[in-house]
């Protein structure tokens, strides 16, 4: 009986944390909608302190940081959200969260001129929703930019000072860590148990569509693609 009572107490504690988590996330979303990004930051971090596995809190904090121009840290929290996406029980919600997070992670990488990482994120998004035109266009854009910048665009300008170079190096390392995490957790996110051969076929189909989308990826639209973000907070 004592063990049973302890179990009930533990379950009640977990439920309490979940309620606090959701309450803080909802508060953060209201603040985000009002462009109160500092307040939203506090709310999302409070939710993560209560539950470090909260996908919604990590994803929403990533969006909040993205909106403030902190693309490197936004990418970190997108990576954190992706690590816990498989724990979302609702399959449709899991797929939706994974797609939006991969999409925004790709945009965060684009903002840092990390085109290879951006391509990888958009490919993962397309494995979930192969018909999404926005993800296709952003993939094509990242691919073209990588062709023009074979080093991935991660290097700084000659007139940057040493501190800026160090910051960029740290961002590159953070992105590599994020990419590694996503590669380790890749399999659960596609929602269909897709095989490597099927993934390769899908990637080839995406590349075959490039000619159809290149006309849309012109100089005027490039700026729009680089800043596009899935802003739906959960």
CA distance 194 to 85: 17
Round to whole Å and give the CA distance between 45 and 36: 14
**Which residue from 14, 78, 79 is spatially nearest to 50, judged by alpha carbons?**
14
Sorting pLDDT into bands at 50, 70 and 90, what band is 151? confident
What is the pLDDT, as a whole number, of residue 159?
38
The answer to whether residue 160 scores a pLDDT higher than 70 is: no
Assess if residue 56 is contained within a domain.
yes
**Tens digits of residue pLDDT in 6-24:** 333 333 333 333 455 689 9
**Percent of the chain clearing pLDDT 90 (strictly above):** 53
Residues 150-189, buried b or exposed e (16+ Cβ, 10 A)?
eebbbeeeeeeeeeeeeebeebbebbeebbeebeebeeeb
Share of the chain above pLDDT 70, in %: 56
Higher-scoring residue by pLDDT: 52, 166: 52
Q: Which helix (H) or strand (E) holds 93?
A: helix 91-111
Query: C-alpha distances in angstroms, 60 versus 11, 42, 65, 133, 197?
Result: 26, 12, 9, 23, 33
Q: How many whole angstroms separate alpha carbon 178 and alpha carbon 80?
A: 8
What average pLDDT does the structure give for the chain? 75
CATH number reported for the structural domain that contains residue 61 in this entry: 1.25.40.10
Contact 43, 25 (CB under 8 A): yes
pLDDT, tens only, 88-99: 999 999 999 999
The structure tokens 């890749």 sit at 186
For the stretch 172-194, pLDDT in tens is 555 555 554 444 443 333 443 44
Residue 232 within any structural domain of the chain: no
Show the domain range for 83: 12-227
SS3 per residue for 197-210: HHHHHHHHHHHHCH
Contact of 112 with 149, CB cutoff 8 Å: no
In-domain check, residue 4: no
pLDDT, greater one: 126 or 163? 126
- pLDDT higher than 60, residue 2: no
- pLDDT of residue 206 exceeding 60: yes
pLDDT at 1: 39
63, 95 contact by CB (below 8 A):
no
List the single range of 84-93, 113-122, 134-143, 205-214 with lowest mean pLDDT.
205-214
Question: What average pLDDT does this structure show over 66-84?
Answer: 97
Does residue 41 lie in a domain region? yes
Does 161 reside within a domain? yes
CA pair distance 134, 114, nearest whole angstrom: 18
How many Å apart are CA 79 and CA 114, to the nearest integer?
15
Give the residue from 39, 47, 116 showing the smallest Cα distance to 84: 47
Is 1 inside any structural domain? no
Task: Give the pLDDT confidence score for residue 182 in this predicted structure.
Answer: 45
pLDDT of residue 181: 46
User: Does residue 2 form part of some domain?
Assistant: no
Give the count of domains, the chain. Answer: 1
pLDDT tens digits, residue range 109-135? 999 999 999 999 999 999 999 999 999
Predicted confidence (pLDDT) at residue 48 exceeds the cutoff of 90: yes
5 within a domain of the structure (yes/no): no
């Amino acid at each position: 009986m004592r063990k049973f009572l302890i179990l009930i107490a533990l379950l009640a504690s977990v439920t309490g944390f979940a309620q606090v988590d959701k309450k803080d996330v909802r508060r953060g979303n209201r603040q985000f909608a009002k462009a109160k990004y500092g307040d939203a930051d506090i709310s999302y971090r409070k939710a993560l302190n209560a539950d470090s596995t909260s996908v919604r809190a990590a994803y929403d904090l990533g969006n909040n940081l993205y909106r403030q121009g902190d693309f490197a840290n936004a990418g970190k929290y997108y990576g954190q959200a992706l690590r816990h996406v498989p724990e979302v029980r609702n399959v449709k919600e899991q797929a939706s969260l994974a797609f939006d997070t991969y999409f925004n992670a790709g945009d965060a990488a684009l903002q840092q001129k990390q085109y290879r990482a951006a391509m990888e994120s958009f490919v993962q998004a397309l494995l979930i929703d192969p018909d999404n035109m926005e993800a296709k266009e952003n993939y094509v854009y990242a691919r073209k930019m990588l062709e023009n910048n074979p080093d991935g665009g991660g290097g700084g300008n000659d007139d940057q000072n040493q501190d800026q170079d160090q910051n960029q190096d740290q961002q590159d390392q953070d992105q590599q860590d994020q990419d590694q995490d996503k590669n380790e957790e890749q399999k659960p996110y596609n929602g269909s148990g897709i095989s490597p051969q099927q993934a390769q076929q899908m990637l080839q189909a995406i590349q075959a569509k490039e000619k159809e989308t290149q006309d849309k990826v012109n100089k005027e639209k490039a700026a729009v693609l680089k800043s596009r973000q899935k802003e739906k907070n959960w």
